[in-house]
Structure 1
């Protein structure tokens, strides 16, 4: 445990916090705040239905992305941010979401530009490992970037396949045990059965499942939280005042932990909305669109959905009902700095805060509602994690994935091993302590984000070329089509084979159907 804590503290240093905020601010300025200017376009594109035999629709890709974003971070993550960073941590989550939306645009547009076709399934694959190795392969930096991409891919397979699943399954198991007294091992057993059925079906089954479950549960959760907040409407002005004042150390009770507010706001902000982590580009690359910037804009809006809507609903719910405690020293072992008195003694930091908050309004139903919400949120997140781990496994194997071994392909064997590891990690998370699960998850998120943010700062150029090209064509009244040669982007091989009239992939000599 001490080793994990030491590793996590090194990764999540102040330098990393400033890197995340600084990168988001830089991308916002360079894009002329694309996350504000293009909100109407984001919404329009989100509902557009281009798809092909190789790629899912923008909405399905958004759903895969949201499946990874909307999870325990929106419920248990907000609770831990408030517990260890004070109410001001919610403000810094908002800041991270606003700035991170521009970071998400850059990384997800790059993911679309440099996507490839899976040699085993024919489906689109992409992500940081792919754009790191392809964007500047015509330069002297190519060998170093290829190694960098391989490092990211290996880290992501480990993080998404073994480190991060435990956070989701642990919160789900704790919530279900608290609500219905189901043993955590039983939750784990049931989880791996359902999870195995879905992930073995491939990206199309994952997309179909996520596109139905994620929007429904997110809307239902937000509505229920808003109802609870409305019942406590008289407390909202005070909640907003506390959030703002404690975010800048002006609140007498929380002034001493302003550094913790920033740290936990950024940490849980990235964990929740995943901007800069490098996970969003994997889902973005799976989409069938006529221009990479389209999916970049859609994925930017996903950050808003996650943090400004779902996380804010949780934050206001917890704070307006008083179902929280704030601890000194960023640990539940520290002295209690604030306790409105709603929580029972000994309540563990995490989903139980939200369960107690709902119970103040929906007496007796709060624990069950959060347990059901986490069941679906965490399940979809685990599915998205597996998809990203598998995508990077494909990258690591490369063309060797087709190599025959013992009557099957190397890629097939490796995929089965990864599936087994992901299922085992999900089960272990159910029976682990929350502290162990979150420490492992923070290490996985931090390593991926470090590598990806540095990477996109180096490779940002093609994303902004794509944005300028997209906005130029829109001004001309066109439905933008992407031609990488025309905008001098090298390495986007898949796009160079597209139908020039539709921007869609060719199938048997014709453009793919919409």
Structure 2
């Protein structure tokens, strides 16, 4: 997975002529709506597609994923998350441009996008087994079990344990069923309702989390350079990992970055492929902002909070509970409630969007008229995620993501010349307008 995502991503980054750096300004203009079109095929606007994709990526991967990375790989893992994000911007650009170039139609005639359609339409029918592999792994890997697990952990730590309330298996079941009911209200309304809810929730949750984190960083401002130095030093020495293995730090960083920003996994092309856009390159430019916002901005802020407060060295907590202890130490009394509010919105918005991804994979394999059955399977697994252990959940999701990355990266590299030609054509046309 490391070779595929980091190596393949770097190939695309260099092949594009370092486009994520050169065209960042144009991508921001596109997001602001300067080039919006109407009466084009698709189900949602490009901005809604980005909001829905960010709802899935800016989420618990940024809060729990960063904590897991530091817990397992030390501060140096954050540096390798950054490196993964820069190459991930190029990967997202290629995969989401292809999602518009090679859209397919499902059995009901609705225009659809995603790696399975890119493989079949762009590479040919003989490659269909790759598309099937992606869809099977997507049905299993894009369940909301991690979000359910971590949201349950937060509610337990903030609302139940401090008041000595009983936290047994029955409480987990009750929390799991409550989440299932809440998520069902949104996801049974389809992509338009999911995108509408996500585009309202995402900006609010990012602002709340951003303000909370900036307050904490400001409190420890003098120590920030020292922490940046620690991240850089540990990235190449691996002192904080057992045995001091630099390779372990790189693998952990790349793995957690893949879970956080999903570049190369193939999820974002599914939602960007549904956007109302006739310009594949424009959609790719919008999509490439995802890893930048997600990993370079949000993950770095979370990492600084955990490192500045020192909780990563002095606590046995893992996942979201590690971030929770950092917030509580930095903002006593208030911090845990701010984080709980952010986690609640992060987790729910991710659950909404993931259901759409899995629904598309199920639709591809079993047809549009059977696709809604997936939603019921998805909702039941939310309860399973609430009662399972974090270790089991993370291992399962990582395994499925690795399988999804194989068809996604093969198709992106195979069809990269098509994207390069489309990019050249697009920017030549932009010069003349």
Q: TM tier, shorter chain?
A: over 0.9
1:242–1:251 Cα contact (<8 Å) kept: no
Q: Output the TM-score relative to the length of structure 2.
A: 0.93
Matched, 1:130 2:109: no
Q: Aligned residue for 1:421? A: 377
Q: Which residue of 2 aligns with 1:396?
A: 365
Aligned equivalents of 2:195, 2:69: Cα separation in 1:
30
- 2:172 equivalent in structure 1: 184
Length-normalised TM-score, structure 1: 0.79
* Aligned residue in 2 for 1:39: 24
User: Corresponding residue for 2:405?
Assistant: 449
Gaps of 5+ in 1: 1-15, 325-338, 402-410, 478-514
Query: Is the helix fraction higher in 1 or 2?
Result: 2
| Residue 41 (structure 1) shift | 1.0
Residue 137 (structure 2) aligns with: 155
Instruction: Tell me the alpha carbon deviations over residues 264-300 of structure 1, each in whole angstroms, 9 at most, x when there is no partner.
Output: 1100001000000011100110111230111101110
Q: Which whole-Å deviations, capped at 9, do the CAs of 1:205-234 have from their partners, x for residues lacking one?
A: 011011010121012211211110110112
Counterpart of 2:350 in structure 1 is 381
Q: CA deviation at 1:255?
A: 7.8
Q: Where do 1:298-309 residues align within 5 Å?
A: 298-309=286-297
Partner of 1:100: 88
CA displacement 1:448-480 (0-9 Å, x = unmatched): 112311232222222222211111111222xxx
> Matched residues in 2 for 1:151 and 1:360: separation?
45
Offset of 1:19 from its aligned partner? 2.4
- Measured in 1, the distance between the counterparts of 2:119 and 2:323 equals 40
Deviation at 1:251, TM superposition (A): 5.3
Does the CA-based 8 Å contact 1:175-1:371 persist in structure 2? yes
Tell whether 2:228 aligns with 1:240: yes
Q: Following superposition of structure 1 onto structure 2, how do residues 105-254 of structure 1 map, counting pairs within 5 Å?
A: 105-120=93-108, 123-137=110-124, 142-143=125-126, 145-160=127-142, 164-181=143-160, 183-249=171-237
In the alignment, the residues of structure 1 paired with residue 243 and residue 295 of structure 2 have an alpha-carbon distance, to the nearest angstrom, of 24
Counterpart of 1:360 in 2: which secondary structure? helix
Moved more, 53-62 or 100-109: 53-62
Counterpart mapping for 1:274-353 below 5 A: 274-324=262-312, 339=313, 341=314, 343=315, 347-353=316-322
Query: Hey, what's the Cα distance between the residues in 1 that align with 2:403 and 2:80?
Result: 21
CA distance in 2, matches of 1:124, 1:209: 22
- Residues 20 and 453, structure 1, Cα contact 8 Å, conserved in 2: yes
Q: 2:62 aligns with which of 63, 74, 77?
A: 74
Count of residue pairs the alignment pairs up: 421
Of 467-476 and 310-319, more deviation after overlay is shown by 467-476
- Counterpart CA distance in 2 for 1:256 and 1:154 is 37
CA distance in 2, matches of 1:167, 1:253: 24
Question: Which of the pair has more CA radius of gyration?
Answer: 1
Q: Aligned-residue CA RMSD in angstroms?
A: 1.8
User: Would the aligned equivalents of 1:246 and 1:255 in 2 still touch at CA under 8 Å?
Assistant: no
Q: 2-side partners of 1:317 and 1:254: how far apart?
A: 23
* 4+ aligned runs moved over 4 Å, structure 1: 250-255
State how far apart, in whole Å, the 2-side matches of 1:80 and 1:287 are.
33
Which whole-Å CA distance do the structure 1 matches of 2:246 and 2:180 have between them? 41
User: Could you say what secondary structure the match of 1:289 adopts?
Assistant: coil
After superposition, give the CA deviation of every residue in 1:35-71 in whole Å (9 maximum; x if it has no partner): 1011111111112144557421111000111111112
Q: Which residue is equivalent to 2:163?
A: none
Asked if the contact 2:209/2:342 (under 8 Å) is kept, the reply is yes
| 21, 44, 65: which one aligns with 2:6 | 21
Pairing partner for 2:249 from 261, 268, 274: 261
Matched residue SS, 2:288: helix
